[in-house]
Structure 1
């Protein structure tokens, strides 16, 4: 028996990983395929709104051939359209438009429909699943969220702004790793008279975000008063949703206020980052309500992510810093830990017994854990690397925010 060399095996493996299983066809390897796919994924919305009402099915012929096609339900295998006989077509790329209707009329239910094309030339015959046509006539409604209002464009101490964020249905932080993103989002802000004062477009973002400073292009402040934000969300099938939100611009000045809180490490709220492999902290024997970061059982860090919810509305102009107090698990050793905030760089070393404070950080209000609940405005992480072992007693949070001078609720939460 002739052996297959490693290069051939590598090429075969690459082909199996690249070509979708449903697009594989049986053909004579010595001949050029008659038929090839052009665009595998096709989305459209046959709802009569004039936007992507037909699916554009493309395929490529290497030689002239007689062509027919059928459209099947991916769930039941039922033929919903066809056979459609396209006759003899010339060599090259061809386009067939499907209006989403089944034989006899009527739009098919939302779902995926494989399009099978058969090309015949003499005794040669080849059938290929040239596209998976996905019919989507409705969109699940997402949400538009904003950070603290009003916007203060004339504030001297800080460049104040508001964030407008679109969350698609079921958003959670894991979607940042696995979702394809929202195809297109248009943000508009209009004055009370209806004039568009700001417009922006975000494409293919997991969490489309728009920042508005309430300033003109020359940097001057917009007039105080009410404005209307309008967000238009487009999906890949041609559907769209419109969201509206009232915004307010104020010309009042802001004053700085620093909110401070000290927390036992073991009582500080934690969250898990599922995309990382690390060992969890355990209760400390050295500090009451403390946490112990001991060597991990595998070759990885021991880590915890912490979060905190401030008792007032957070704004992107805010900042915070965290101090950690603790010491090596075995008192007197040189073991150390590491702390960092949302910037993730640099990481600050926590040596020996004592307190270490990271520099002021900007809260990330366009991701988890602040989203989707708009509550946990800041986060930080503490970790150790084997063989070091370190115990944390307390964290002290300092949160710098900005309030109107007369806003007692903001200044004294």
Structure 2
């Protein structure tokens, strides 16, 4: 008797043999001749598959159906007939293998066989685990053949054994193609009630005879569904400036959604964007980018609706809408240009005892200032008049400004022979940067602009400072200041 380890080694060798491509009805391999039946489509319950062997070669012969899928080998005599055990349905070949001293090789193979005792089913999509009062369908493909299949289904309660059939139906479908098998549950059942959906199939064929099959699925009654549209922002600014150019549109759900459609519509209900359904069941929160365009065209400003429609596994519908605002605001450099009465910008002053800061100035005008050195006495050691001025600037995106240009309308006071004023610049901390002397002509004066780094608190409440000063009897009027600066803004 062959030992168990030897049998295991032999079986492993049989499984490792190489599969040939095809085989004629009668096949010879040296001293071996195998005669195969002409039939290639059969039902083993009504048709046998006998082969005839003539062999004078070495070793032992084995035959098996679906060998590569774990078919059990049959030892065959060197001469005679053998009925092959077609234990399982499927499409494959019968193989003959010769084993000599523990080494096995395929020496013959049948034509490709189609073996069916019953109806083969291929299911598409996830199987149903819940059922509701809405019509549903199971997508399948029947094999073999292309003829009609009689389908009968019924729904019963597992929580009420022996109870009545809750719903049922009958229809025909064709084999060989994808078909839908509709079913439903009546309204009014108990939420989460355990149900059994049973399908009975029957097919009459010339080749295989009458084939039958029954499948039962356990599920629960479900009438609830939840899902909603989600967006990464509520306003989109699709101006391609890097700020809010796109919005992420998706959905949130607590169970798988099917037949989901997610799209964006304008206020008139016209669809302007549709997002792809990358798979039939959406089991995770997907997000897609929308750039505020339809087929590459920038859409007008206004309100847009992101809408989701779907169903859950039980067929319960879900619909959700979230409104978005589309704005044409954009990032750009904007000019701030404002004129101030001189006195309205005054932050601080220093006036020595022989001098005077007068309001209004000798030229008149509301808010004008007059800086008059030695207006009260002739002590040149007490002749200084100086002022510090400042204004707030508009808020800028990321605190971005260009240089600040401050000009002023002014000149020597009425009746003064000659005059000058010193223009002082300060940094963002109020520290002195430098000065520039301005002449006494009456008109607009344009000192050197203040650099952008001279702007204080640029990200919170931006402002700038400058100063005026004179001495030695100079008398100077300032009517107004004009402040101009370009700042980075979103509008």
Q: Which has the larger radius of gyration?
A: 2
Fold conserved between structures, TM > 0.5: no
User: 1 or 2, which has the higher strand percentage?
Assistant: 2
- Give the TM-score normalised by structure 2: 0.35
- Give the TM-score normalised by structure 1: 0.40
Higher relative contact order (CA 8 A, sep 6+): 1
